[in-house]
Amino acid sequence: MNSPPKYLVTERLVMRASTPALAEATIDYQQRNLAHFERWDPTRPSDHWTLDVTRARLEREAAAFDAGTLWRFWISSREAPDRVIGQCAVSEVVRGVFQSAMLGYSLDVDCVGGGLMHEALARVLDEVFGPLVSLHRVQASVRPENARSRRVLERLGFEREGFSPRYLFIDGAWRDHETFARINPTWGDSQRPAE
């Protein structure tokens, strides 16, 4: 199956697919935002953001991108393309009769509130719902108290589908999540998935 392009551009952003060459920039992004992400991110192993582990993970993500099973983009401003300020990932891509994937994302604490995540996700959704990739459905899980994240999804046309109690282990406890999803608006009710 097809994957989106590895380099995407919006009015204010550039987005690059995972590659080991981004290891130091992604580690810097994570380190700058440790306190900001602690409340929202799943608990990770202590070596998760070390250089060797990060390079290996980005290498696996690059292979998964080519295989069409995970598409992660690292977000930078067009004015400072070497500094990562966010990421978004379309993961757990399932084809066949499902044609669906999961969406995850994060943004630098200093960039929150300026519409950058909406801009980035709109571009990625255009690709995964477009003719090259043509997913039928994308879903995202968000903690109920994460009002900003919920608003981003709602602005992008995602609808709340359900509630998952004790869904992920985050910040020292199992946390509830809400499930939001968006159906590809170009798919008709009787459109068959690609074989």
pTM flag (> 0.85): yes
Cα gap 54→72, rounded to integer Å: 14
Residues of the chain whose pLDDT is less than 70? 1, 195
pLDDT value, residue 128: 96
pLDDT value, residue 195: 63
Question: What CA–CA distances, in Å, run from 117 to 73, 79, 150?
Answer: 12, 16, 12
pLDDT value, residue 1: 59
pLDDT tens readout for residues 57-105: 999 999 999 999 999 999 999 999 999 999 999 999 999 999 999 999 9
From the number of C-beta atoms within 10 Å of its C-beta (0-12, 13-18, 19+), residue 158 rates as: buried
Taking Cα atoms as reference points, which of 135, 138, 136, 146 lies closest to residue 168? Answer: 146
pLDDT value, residue 105: 97
Overall fold of domain 7-183: Aminopeptidase (3.40.630)
CA-based angle 88:154:67, to the nearest 5?
30
Taking Cα atoms as reference points, which of 83, 79, 57, 61 lies closest to residue 70? Answer: 61
Strands 137-142 and 100-107: parallel
SS3 at position 41: coil
